[in-house]
Structures are given as structure tokens and as C-alpha cells.
Amino acid sequence: MKQKTLIAIVGPTAIGKTAMAIQVANHFKTEIISADSRQFYREMTIGTAKPSMEELAAAPHHFVDSHSIEQDYSAGDFERDVLALLEKLFQIHDVVVLVGGSGLFVKAVCEGLDNLPKPLPGVRDRLNNRFEAEGIEVLQTYLREVDPEYFEEVDRSNSQRVIRALEVYESTGKPFSFYRQNTTAKRPFNIITIALNTDREKLYDRINRRVDTMVAAGLIDEVKSLVNYKDKPALLTVGYAEIFDYLACILTWDEAIDRIKQNSRRYAKRQITWFKKGGDAVWFEPQDIEQVLDYIQKKLKA
């Protein structure tokens, strides 16, 4: 499949990746694979800014509403399933589009995952107990001390990812980031990475308006319907964790919404850091569809 090409469209939350992916997919008459680690789940729609019915109808999508929140679905699972799907799609198309802001899931497909050491028995239980007793802030501070590099990239509101990194550190004495230096896996297809961004003020305005739209669309009712699953890793993330805190009377309503906006902006900064660190992406403004298509066409001919 050396002549086949995967076009990865990445960037921070609310930047317009879905719209760009649809335009690129339509241009090449191909299909889209979502690499958003929360849009897999059927029960999570509003808080994940899932593509609308019109957008889903505009181009074939995969890995949107593909799983239930009752299932745990890891980046390793995603890597395996997407590579199997690509083998089929590349029999039909020369180009396939991958889109999403979940850096680890994009990396899983494009580069493969690092071989992390096996944790020592009891470490995760101890960290989980500390999280329950002392809260996420204590673990965030701990992670910043022992692994400042990963601290700047990880979704720090996702307790499971914070705990996983600390589990590796406590089991080996080396930071999680140390084990993320492995060589890139060879893929039997070419990869073109398009990254979207704009100036900070515009991006933050897009994020704030998206949160307001989610609230107006009924975010609180969606979160209430998921209370029984609030400890699932997919729900320990921005937009859900804050509303759970509101429902538990930890935050007021205004505090919860402000916290979602603030945490979304922080997450966007970490996403940008992640995708810039890779070094392979070429960056465009979200409205630059013609420039993006020109760049892709030149790369395909190279």
C-alpha cells in the first residue's frame, strides 16, 4: 500500500477540524476516520461536539457512535481496529482521511504506541486510593514534579491518564515521557499531516462560544444521564467532570461553566504543544481549504 495515503487532520478543540475533514474527503471522494477518543461513545454527543447529522451525511464516517460508554476502549484497541479498517478502505480508495484532536490516538495510528513497562502490583490501587482521598490536584502536582514534560501535554483533568503516568514512574523510577522516545513504527502507507490553528484570541473565542452552544443544547441533561458511569475514563474529561462537580454541589453553575471554558482553553494549548512536538505537521488556518488541497496535491505527486 505504499502508494496509498492517510491524510491526518489535527489541531486544538473547536478549531474546525470536522469541517476541513469533510471538505478534503469530498474532494478526494473518500471516507473519514474519527480519532476523537470520546466521539466513539454513543451516549456522549453534546459534550464531545460530535459531527451533526448533516455532517455525518456529507461524507462516510467511521468510529463515531461506534461503542458504548460501558465498553473501555484504549488507544491500543483503536490502533488495531483502524489499521484493519485501513486495509479494507485502501482497497477502494487511494486516500483516506483521519481527523481528531486526541494526540495519543492519532499517534497510535500514524506511529504506533510506545512499549510501556509492566507496572508493579498494587501501584495503581494505591494511586487510585490517593485520588479518591485527596483529589486530582494532588496527583497533578506530583506529576508536575516527577515528569514536567508529560505534565505539559497530558489532559490533566483526565485522572486515569495522570494516574497511568504516575504508575509508570512509581514502578520504574523513570518518568512516563522517558518511555515515549521509541522509534516510529513502519506503516504500509504514506501519511500527510495537516494541522489547523489560528491566533489565540480567535481560538479562545471559538472555544467559549462552543461551550455556550453545548450548554444551550442540553449538556446538563446529557451529563445527568451518565451519572452511573462517571468513573469511566471517557467521562473524566473536560465538559463532563465539571458538570459532575456541579451536580455534587462542589461548584456553582456559573463556576462549572467558567471551569469548562478555562479547562478547554488549557487543553487546546496542550493539544497544540503535542502536535507541534511531532514536527511532521504543516499548519494552516481553519478556512484555508484551497491552500490545504494544493499542499496535499503537491505531496501526492512528490
Q: pLDDT tens, 54-64? A: 999 999 999 99
3-state secondary structure of 7: strand
3-state secondary structure of 33: strand
Residue 231 clears pLDDT 90, i.e. is over it: no
- For residue range 242-287, list pLDDT tens digits in order: 999 999 999 999 999 999 999 999 999 999 999 998 768 999 999 9
The pLDDT value recorded for residue 179 is 81
Structural domains for the chain: 5-114+182-301 (3.40.50.300), 123-180 (1.10.20.140)
Q: What angle do CA 61, 65, 67 make, to 5 degrees?
A: 125
197 — alpha (psi -120 to 50), left (phi > 0) or beta? beta
User: Amino acid identity of 285?
Assistant: E
Q: What angle do CA 158, 251, 204 make, to 5 degrees?
A: 60
Q: What's the pTM value of the predicted model, to 2 decimals?
A: 0.85
Residue 141 clears pLDDT 50, i.e. is over it: yes
Residue 1 clears pLDDT 60, i.e. is over it: no
pLDDT above 90 covers what percent of the chain? 78
The pLDDT value recorded for residue 87 is 97
- For residue range 169-220, list pLDDT tens digits in order: 999 999 988 887 666 788 999 999 999 999 999 999 999 999 999 999 999 9
What end-to-end distance do the CA atoms of the chain give, in Å? 16
Element (H, E) at 214: helix 200-217
**What is the chain's Cα-based Rg?**
19
Instruction: Report, as an integer, the average pLDDT of 95-104.
Output: 96
Residue 108 clears pLDDT 70, i.e. is over it: yes
